[in-house]
Amino acid sequence: MLLIKFPGVRDETSRPRALEFNRFAIKARDNSFVWKHTRMNTITQILLLLLGTFVAANLQPRLVVAETRVVIIVGPSSHPPGTHEVAAGGRLMKHCLETADDLPDVKVDLFNEWPTDQKVLDAASTIVFTGDTFPPNRLPNAKNTLKKLGQMMESGCGIVCVHYATGLRAEDVAADGEHPLLHWMGGYFATRCAHHQSIARIYPAAKITPAAAMHPIWQGCQPFTLHDEPYINNYFGKDGNKQAANVTLLASSLLPPENPKPETVSWCIERADSGRGFGIVMPHFYRSWKIEDLRRFILNGIAWTAKLEVPERGVHSTLPNLATFKPASVEPK
């Protein structure tokens, strides 16, 4: 209880007397105030009321909506125009996330290199990679980059790899296939590796269907068919290529057409460090970004790894003409 003394104030009708003090106590109860007093004149009461109002107003809880920060890193790519188009794809994802009408305030920081500002990395809820194979292994000073990325993962940051950014080469992995990405994201595309051989091939009509029962990443999405290059026989671990217990297989396709069997083309992980990972092995062709269900599926995955609530109808954004994002070409050449 706070005890405050105010000097007494004589009103015009009272007779002159010695200066005296009115005693009163203020007690905070929730967000209201209760006071007791022995003797207070009108002016003192007004002063007390103003004081109580000011303090109560400053103790009222304030709703602060934290900004969600997403970092997108575009790695090197040497693919011909109209394929991969990783820089344009990065700009497209940034636009869609920042203009989505059903996500809270999302700010995307887009880079063509590993960020030098540690504050940007510390603020990231998730980090998205696009490029020819896993960018941290292709960017300068790969060892240090992987170390810093590992620190982000340990703090619970999410990770997303799109298409070829899911890829690791033989020189990137140990002889048994071990690599941090396997644990950060739950699996990877093993390209020309001794321990495992994933397959890259373009299919004229690959139908993508859910492999898991109503995961949030599928919200608002329908199965879709595309002419593209969904990698198959992706790598999930040494135990007969079976995924870890905390990995969910999200999407599959019956491939190849001549000998079809369910092939996982997207997956996610919930890690012990509280972080989340999401991998998807499409799109190869830049024009495939026009497919609304594919695009929403990827945006949902990014939102999910950032620990945002995926809207029931999925992440919605207005996509302008694909040429807006300055690819070398919208169509493959």
Condensed to tens digits (0 to 9), the pLDDT of residues 79-123 reads 999 999 999 999 999 999 999 999 989 999 999 999 999 999 999
Q: Does one domain contain both 55 and 79? A: no
Q: Does one domain contain both 72 and 193? A: yes
Is the residue at 192 inside a domain? yes
Is the residue at 212 inside a domain? yes
Distance CA 183, CA 189 (A): 14
Domain boundary among the residues 10, 25, 59 is at 59
Range of the domain at 14: 2-59
Averaged pLDDT of the chain: 87
Residue 184 amino acid letter: W
- Tally of domains in the chain: 2
Q: Does one domain contain both 242 and 124? A: yes
Q: Does one domain contain both 86 and 222? A: yes
| First-residue to last-residue Cα distance in the chain | 78
Is the residue at 82 inside a domain? yes
The pLDDT tens digits of the residues spanning 6-24 come to 444 444 444 444 444 444 4
The CATH number assigned to the domain holding 305 equals: 3.40.50.880
Q: Rounded to the nearest 5°, which phi and psi values hold at 50?
A: -65, -40
Q: Does one domain contain both 38 and 78? A: no
Q: Does one domain contain both 316 and 284? A: yes
Is the residue at 332 inside a domain? no
Is the residue at 170 inside a domain? yes
Distance CA 249, CA 262 (A): 11
Domain boundary among the residues 59, 77, 107 is at 59
Is the residue at 154 inside a domain? yes
Distance CA 113, CA 111 (A): 5
Q: Are strands 32-37 and 106-111 parallel, antiparallel or unpaired?
A: unpaired
Is the residue at 303 inside a domain? yes
The pLDDT tens digits of the residues spanning 111-143 come to 999 999 999 999 999 999 999 999 999 999 999
Is the residue at 331 inside a domain? no
